[in-house]
């Protein structure tokens, strides 16, 4: 009685401690993502978030209905974009909901601040979900470690700092939450939890295109379990309830529509669903048969036949076009050369490049080698009848996650959670063996303990056995000397464990030091690599002062204040979302990149001589052109460095008019200086970028600091365009497109006449 009371207080203490640990982890997760807010201000980052922010403002200001049917005629001018049906609304709805709830309880928090802080808030939830997931795989101890890892690992912070208001901000939480619910519903064999999994999946579908990963991972898991002979009614119930409800729900998202029944991406899920029906049906029959041997043979052959027929039917259907083939972006994951040849616009984005090993190390540091060890321990745990299934899941996820992450830098994000889980399993198994007393460490005992879910029970088990430890060991040692045969038997009975306290201490200290190093690494990476808003640039003066370069906002603000509301601003697609979000002006193309031809049109405007471009500009009602030029500042991500992609993309649409070759010198060099190719010197982009640049240097030669070249003394002459605005550091330059000459002269003639008149 007294013992159980002591246990109770012990348990209360433990759960309290756990709660505080989790709260501390949440605090760490949130605060480590606030570098940019503290250094700069509460501002939306980068490019895509600006669109999400604008869409959220539409939702909050005009209501749900307007948002759902939103037709945005200020982007992709003159085509417009049926925005409501072509976005994943989950993110906006989430922040809209939070906004409304806060306002209904009279907390007037600005929608901008909600958007900025959404990602850090959800990262805290991700940490908690990872804790729950890892608890399903191993136990609460590993769960806490996994939560710590995911809270501060740079691979996840890279996409979830304050201000990076993107789909991934909530999607990683949803990914882990869906997986956790799946593993849990599988363990319980519960249709209720299966349905909850489906609902979480629905949320995920509405939030991120990466939902395809879930709808392939879960069927694969089920399929592997069947292959391993671990089919169970639990699997049947949880999978079927997840698949049916999840698929029906996912079709309610307008952007997804009928994809779940019509594209190859989703067919694996359907196939496994069919397979499970076959298996369930035959096991049912089997139970009612007296002789099972012949039936088993029949069953096996029917299953194999059914599998083959199913695969063949799907192959035929996709060949005939009933099922749409894999989408290009998805397909390029398997055939790595595909995107470069067929979808240059995908290949041109830096986050679609393959991953070199330093990027892995940069984003995961010591977790990268704990990861394989953790997967190894998951194999160790397979024999566990219930939690083994979660281990299978971890293993499959690990294999595919690491493949995808190595093909595309961007998918490092999907690998990171499982790395944290596996690393936590590895480290906590190590810690288990070095912290706990030797006698309760026998592997079998550990495994047995895992199977009963009552951790409290375990604890009492531990403490009650403690008393017997020393004596037990001694007697065994004495007897083990007698004969070798006995020794062997003895060895098998003897419990594994670390006896020397100093050895334990050394290992533990090493682990603690490694963890501390990991914290230092993560903080450094977050602070230096992932916390720049990229809208405001920071640089250091030689004296060590921080200098903020705010040219982008300066230029967007200028557009907003000076140009008329219906002005159409042409720019390369990278700046489309920011233009719409910050300047509030109509754009030709933006980061949505749904219409390659339109993007190629802008590429052609930039790459062609003025006479050709002017016609296109007039036809598209463009009033202003915006270029980004880093030559004065040394900012390498400017339009000149993107120029080849503009040429390539427009060459893809107009192979007769634009030739990449023309922009190189006869010797094959890509030059900007005196010796640049004529096509380059005549291109509108070149002229806009270097217009009057040489005058800035007076008598000295003009130097482009990005490309380290000297420019000709006499800069390019613009005829049909007129400089309207250049920002402080020349980062953004805006040109006005001239009206046609009122006397019908060509611009050249008009300029020549003006000059003559002046003389």
Partner 1 sequence: MKIPEIISILIIASIALAKSALLSKYDSLAQNQAGVVKLDDLSYNELIRTPERDFGVAVVLTAMDERMKCTPCHKFAPEFHLLAKQAKGRRSTNKNSIVFASLDFMDGQRTFNDLGLNTAPSLFYHPPHQLNGHLYDFNRNGFLAERLVAFLNTHSPTKFAFKRPVDHTSTVIALVLLTILAVFAKKNWNTLTKPFIFSKWSWCMLTLIIILTMTSGYMWNQIRKPPQMVMTKNGAQYFANGVTNQYRAETVIIGTIYALLASTIVILTISVPKIQNTGRQRAAAYLWTLILIVTFSVLVYIFKMKQPIYPFRLFV
Distance CA 132, CA 137 (A): 9
Q: Between 244 and 359, whose beta carbon lies closer to partner 1?
A: 359
Establish if 664 lies at the interface with partner 1 (CB under 8 A). yes
Distance CA 686, CA 644 (A): 12
Q: Between 8 and 493, whose beta carbon lies closer to partner 1?
A: 493
Q: 306, 310, 438, 584: which one contacts partner 1 (CB under 8 A)? A: 438
Distance CA 570, CA 587 (A): 6
Both structure tokens of 350: 């830096």
Q: How many CA atoms does the CB half-sphere of 280 hold within 13 Å? A: 15
Q: 199, 264, 346, 514: which one contacts partner 1 (CB under 8 A)? A: 514
Stretch that binds partner 1, among 127-135, 266-274, 298-306, 366-374 (CB under 8 A): 366-374
Q: Three-state DSSP class for 735?
A: strand
Shortest Å distance, C-beta 234 to partner 1: 21
Establish if 503 lies at the interface with partner 1 (CB under 8 A). yes
Both structure tokens of 663: 């922009």
Establish if 435 lies at the interface with partner 1 (CB under 8 A). no
Stretch that binds partner 1, among 274-282, 424-432, 677-685, 692-700 (CB under 8 A): 424-432
Cα 39–Cα 23–Cα 458 angle in degrees, nearest 5: 150
- Interface with partner 1 (CB under 8 A), residue total 66
Shortest Å distance, C-beta 665 to partner 1: 11
Q: Three-state DSSP class for 16?
A: helix
Task: List the x/- string, 279-318, binding to partner 1 by CB under 8 A.
Answer: ----------------------------------------
Q: Between 302 and 519, whose beta carbon lies closer to partner 1?
A: 519
CB 717 within 8 A of CB 697: no
Shortest Å distance, C-beta 181 to partner 1: 25
Shortest Å distance, C-beta 385 to partner 1: 14
Task: List the x/- string, 375-414, binding to partner 1 by CB under 8 A.
Answer: xxx-xx-x------------x--xx--xx-xxx-------
Q: 369, 468, 548, 753: which one contacts partner 1 (CB under 8 A)? A: 369
Shortest Å distance, C-beta 399 to partner 1: 5
Stretch that binds partner 1, among 27-35, 87-95, 270-278, 506-514 (CB under 8 A): 506-514
Report the site for partner 1 in 520-559 (rule: CB under 8 A): 520-521, 524, 528
Stretch that binds partner 1, among 119-127, 155-163, 372-380, 630-638 (CB under 8 A): 372-380
- CB under 8 Å to 156, separation ≥6 — which residues? 123, 126, 150, 172, 413, 416, 417
DSSP line for 21-72: HHHHHHHHHHHTT-HHHHHT-S---SSHHHHHHHHHHHHHHHHHHHHHT--B
Q: 248, 289, 506, 516: which one contacts partner 1 (CB under 8 A)? A: 506
Distance CA 555, CA 727 (A): 6
Shortest Å distance, C-beta 451 to partner 1: 18
DSSP line for 218-256: HHHHHHHHHHTT---HHHHHHHHHHHHHHHHHHTTSTTT
Give per-residue burial for 38-77: e unless 16+ CB within 10 Å, then b: eebebbbbbbbbbbbbbbbbbbbeeeeeebeebebebbbb
Shortest Å distance, C-beta 667 to partner 1: 8
Nearest to residue 163, comparing CAs of 106, 87, 95?
95
Shortest Å distance, C-beta 246 to partner 1: 27
In Å, what is the CA distance from 405 to each residue of 146, 399, 401, 412? Answer: 20, 10, 6, 5
Nearest to residue 123, comparing CAs of 161, 167, 163?
161
Q: 79, 199, 345, 366: which one contacts partner 1 (CB under 8 A)? A: 366
Shortest Å distance, C-beta 578 to partner 1: 25
Nearest to residue 155, comparing CAs of 135, 137, 130?
130
Shortest Å distance, C-beta 229 to partner 1: 9
Distance CA 190, CA 175 (A): 20
Q: Between 191 and 508, whose beta carbon lies closer to partner 1?
A: 508
Return the axis-axis angle of helices 293-320 and 267-287, rounded to nearest 10°.
Answer: 160
Shortest Å distance, C-beta 482 to partner 1: 15
Q: 300, 661, 705, 748: which one contacts partner 1 (CB under 8 A)? A: 661
Shortest Å distance, C-beta 446 to partner 1: 11
Q: Between 346 and 703, whose beta carbon lies closer to partner 1?
A: 346
CA torsion through residues 352, 358, 364, 367, sign: positive
Q: Between 667 and 714, whose beta carbon lies closer to partner 1?
A: 667
Q: Between 64 and 434, whose beta carbon lies closer to partner 1?
A: 434
Report the site for partner 1 in 105-144 (rule: CB under 8 A): none
Residue 123 CA, chain-centre distance (Å), reads 13
Distance CA 358, CA 365 (A): 9
User: What is the signed CA dihedral for 225, 228, 233, 237, rounded to 10 degrees?
Assistant: 10
Q: 106, 290, 478, 502: which one contacts partner 1 (CB under 8 A)? A: 502
Do you know the residue count of the chain? 759
Q: 499, 700, 755, 758: which one contacts partner 1 (CB under 8 A)? A: 499
Q: Between 43 and 366, whose beta carbon lies closer to partner 1?
A: 366
Q: Between 402 and 729, whose beta carbon lies closer to partner 1?
A: 402
In Å, what is the CA distance from 42 to each residue of 114, 125, 459? Answer: 10, 21, 46
Q: Between 320 and 667, whose beta carbon lies closer to partner 1?
A: 667
Distance CA 411, CA 432 (A): 32
Task: List the x/- string, 324-363, binding to partner 1 by CB under 8 A.
Answer: ------------xx---------------xxxxxxxxxx-
Shortest Å distance, C-beta 525 to partner 1: 9
Residues that bind partner 1 (CB under 8 A): 336-337, 353-362, 366, 368-373, 375-377, 379-380, 382, 395, 398-399, 402-403, 405-407, 426-427, 429-430, 433, 438, 441, 491, 494, 496-500, 502-504, 506-507, 510, 514, 517, 520-521, 524, 528, 655, 660-661, 664, 666-668
């Amino acid at each position: 009685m007294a013992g159980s009371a002591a246990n109770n207080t012990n348990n209360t203490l433990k759960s309290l401690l756990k709660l505080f640990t989790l709260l501390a982890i949440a605090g760490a997760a949130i605060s480590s993502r606030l570098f940019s807010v503290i250094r700069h201000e509460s501002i939306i980052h980068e490019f895509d978030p600006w669109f999400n922010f604008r869409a959220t403002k539409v939702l909050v200001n005009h209501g749900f209905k307007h948002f759902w049917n939103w037709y945005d005629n200020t982007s992709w001018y003159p085509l417009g974009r049926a925005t409501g049906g072509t976005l994943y609304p989950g993110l906006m709805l989430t922040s809209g909901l939070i906004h409304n709830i806060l306002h209904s309880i009279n907390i007037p928090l600005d929608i901008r601040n909600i958007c900025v802080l959404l990602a850090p808030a959800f990262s805290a939830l991700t940490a908690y979900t990872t804790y729950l997931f890892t608890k399903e795989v191993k136990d609460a101890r590993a769960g806490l470690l996994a939560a710590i890892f995911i809270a501060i690992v740079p691979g996840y912070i890279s996409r979830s700092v304050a201000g990076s208001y993107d789909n991934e901000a909530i999607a990683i939480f949803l990914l882990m939450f869906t997986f956790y619910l799946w593993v849990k519903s599988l363990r319980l064999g519960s249709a209720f939890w299966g349905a909850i999994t489906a609902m979480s999946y629905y949320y995920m579908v509405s939030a991120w295109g990466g939902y395809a990963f879930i709808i392939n991972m879960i069927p694969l898991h089920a399929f592997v379990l069947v292959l391993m002979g671990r089919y169970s009614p639990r699997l049947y119930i949880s999978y079927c309830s997840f698949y049916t409800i999840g698929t029906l729900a996912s079709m309610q998202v307008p952007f997804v529509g009928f994809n779940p029944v019509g594209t190859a991406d989703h067919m694996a899920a359907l196939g496994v669903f069919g397979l499970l029906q076959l298996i369930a049906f035959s096991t049912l029959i089997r139970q009612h048969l007296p002789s099972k041997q012949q039936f088993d043979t029949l069953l096996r052959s029917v299953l194999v036949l059914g599998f083959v027929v199913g695969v063949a039917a799907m192959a035929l259907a996709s060949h005939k076009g009933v099922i749409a083939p894999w989408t290009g972006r998805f397909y390029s994951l398997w055939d790595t050369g595909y995107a470069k040849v067929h979808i240059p616009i995908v290949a041109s984005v830096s986050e679609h490049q393959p991953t070199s090993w330093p990027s892995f190390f940069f984003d995961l540091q010591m977790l990268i080698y704990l990861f394989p060890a953790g997967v190894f321990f998951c194999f160790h745990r397979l024999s566990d009848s219930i939690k083994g299934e979660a281990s299978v899941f971890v293993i499959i996820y690990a294999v595919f996650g690491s493949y995808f992450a190595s093909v595309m830098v961007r998918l490092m994000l999907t690998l990171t959670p499982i790395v944290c889980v596996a690393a936590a399993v590895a480290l906590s198994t190590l810690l288990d063996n070095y912290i706990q007393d030797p006698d309760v460490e026998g592997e079998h005992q550990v495994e047995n303990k895992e199977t009963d879910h009552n951790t409290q029970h375990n604890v009492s088990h531990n403490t009650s056995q403690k008393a017997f430890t020393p004596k037990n060991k001694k007697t065994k040692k004495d007897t083990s000397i007698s004969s070798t045969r006995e020794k062997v038997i003895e060895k098998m009975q003897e419990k594994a464990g670390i006896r020397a306290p100093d050895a334990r201490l050394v290992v533990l200290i090493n682990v603690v030091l490694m963890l501390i190093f990991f914290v230092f690494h993560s903080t450094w990476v977050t602070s230096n690599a992932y916390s720049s808003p990229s809208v405001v640039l920071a640089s250091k003066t030689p004296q060590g002062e921080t200098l903020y370069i705010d040219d982008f906002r300066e230029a967007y603000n200028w557009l907003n204040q000076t140009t008329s509301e219906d002005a159409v601003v042409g720019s390369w697609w990278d700046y489309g979302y920011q233009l719409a979000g910050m300047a509030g002006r109509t754009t030709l193309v933006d980061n949505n990149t749904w219409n390659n031809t339109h993007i190629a049109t802008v590429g052609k405007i930039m790459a062609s001589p003025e006479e050709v471009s002017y016609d296109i500009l007039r036809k598209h009602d463009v009033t202003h052109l915006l270029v980004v030029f880093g030559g004065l500042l040394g900012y390498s991500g400017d339009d000149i460095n993107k120029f080849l992609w503009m040429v390539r993309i427009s060459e893809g649409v107009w192979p007769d008019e634009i030739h990449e070759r023309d922009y190189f010198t006869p010797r094959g060099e890509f030059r900007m200086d005196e010796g640049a190719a004529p096509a380059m010197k005549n291109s509108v982009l070149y002229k806009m970028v270097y217009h009057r640049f040489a005058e800035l240097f007076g008598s000295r030669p003009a130097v482009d600091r990005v490309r380290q070249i000297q420019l000709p003394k006499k800069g390019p002459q613009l005829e049909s365009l007129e400089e309207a605005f250049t920002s402080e550091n020349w980062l953004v330059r805006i040109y006005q497109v001239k009206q046609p000459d009122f006397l019908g002269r060509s611009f050249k003639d008009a300029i020549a006449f003006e000059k003559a008149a002046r003389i």
